[in-house]
A and B are shown apart, each in its own frame.
Chain A
Amino acid sequence: MDRYNPKAHHNPHAHVIHAPGARLMHGVKLRYVWNKVQGHGHRSPNASLNLVSFIDFLSVIVIFLLMSFSASGEIAVDKNVTLPKAENVEAIIDAPMVAVNGNQILVDGVQAGSTRSIEELGRLQKIDELFALLKNKRELWKQVQPNKPFPGVCILQVDQNVSALVVKSVFQTAAFAGYPNVSFMVGKIPSTSGAAPAAE
């Protein structure tokens, strides 16, 4: 029964039960639409694109990005610090960050001393503010994880032009505060010798 024909006998159940089969509209047959898409015997207006090379390209990008993906994320470096570069390095670890630039010393962004005052004094010294901040961090770590041994690792982000006197003072202060395993953050340069990369 054709439900679009007004002359047809009105069946109260017509809206529920229909004859199976494809239908579009009363006047426009599905075959007509199909022929229209095909071009009525002429060249089809639909053009198909070969997607194989496109999918290959996307797959290569996905594989490259997955291989260079780092789950540990980016570690913020102080904007006033220019890190030196080295070849024989290890992977970075999660530890308190001490940034040392030409003017100040910062622990995780909090000021912990002045570089200028160390250079003016001209001798190795314990930096009291840095010592207090690192000691607080160590005690907090021990409170949070009382059953684990304290690793005693901290990372120094030192500007490449800072003098050895400042580096040694910060190093010694960190050791006094309970961080004997000090690491220096550096930029990584590719291996020139072709040897195996450092253990990570």
Chain B
Amino acid sequence: MGGVDVDTGGKKRSTNSEINMVPFIDLLFVTVAFLLITAVWVTNSRINADAQVPGPPDPNKELTPQTPEKVLNLHIGENDFGLVWKQGATVVSEVKVPKTPVELGDGSTKVLRYPDLAKKIEEEWKAQGGHRDASDKKLDQCILYSDNRTQFKELVAVLDALYSPKREMILGKETKKIPVFNMTFSVR
């Protein structure tokens, strides 16, 4: 089976030695069996959201009035999306993106996507986004406005487009690419 061939050329005892491969093959078989049994074939992931609940005020800190940050308001309409940047009550910019869904796959595995929306959101963030530095731990905020009848798969498609632009952020000793926006729902 396995061996090491060293030709000495003399009359001495041969230096060829046979390594018994059976235990090695057994070990490989046991490892393959263990890994096959414990394998996870379906990989699920998650999409983050934030309910924007304020924490309790710190009694040791003096409250100072701060200028409100620019927030992206994403409206899901019948035929288009509205991207509105607001600073407090002031509208900074407003853009409409036509709704052009792209459906991948078929049947129950159909995936809805909005690549045009993702592209426009990235452009808007590059023009208006407030948190860009890698050392900045805060994310830009997005408020999602949708009709109550909108299906969850459409919400996920919009969230997927919203989370497509990414920036670098220093987390501890390493730098990671993370989505530029943090999303919350608008409710009345």
Residue ranges of A at the interface with B (Cβ–Cβ < 8 Å): 48, 51-52, 54-55, 58-59, 61-62, 65-66, 68-70, 73-75, 77, 82-93, 122, 124, 155, 158-165, 167-168, 171-172, 174-175, 179-189, 193, 195-196, 198-199
Contacts and interface: CB of A to CB of B under 8 A. Distances in A.
Given A165-B148, A183-B46, A172 B51 contact: yes
Contact of A199 (B35, B155, B178): B178
B159 A74 contact: no
Given A164-B147, A164-B148, A167-B152, A186 B47 contact: yes
Given A65-B31, A70-B40, A74-B42, 5 more contacts: A84-B152, A172-B51, A172-B185, A180-B52, A184-B156
Interface in B130-188: 146-153, 155-157, 159-160, 163-164, 166, 169, 171, 176-179, 185, 187-188
Contacts of A66: 35
A101 B39 CA distance: 27
A183 B184 CA distance: 11
B179 A181 contact: no
B44 A186 contact: yes
Contacts of B109: 85
Contacts of B21: 51, 55
Contact of B40 (A74, A124, A193): A74
Contacts of A159: 152
A186 B159 CA distance: 11
21 contacts: A51-B21, A52-B2, A55-B28, A84-B111, A84-B153, A84-B156, A84-B157, A89-B45, A89-B47, A91-B46, A93-B46, A155-B46, A160-B156, A164-B150, A164-B152, A165-B149, A167-B155, A174-B51, A187-B45, A199-B177, A199-B178
Contact of B111 (A88, A179, A189): A189
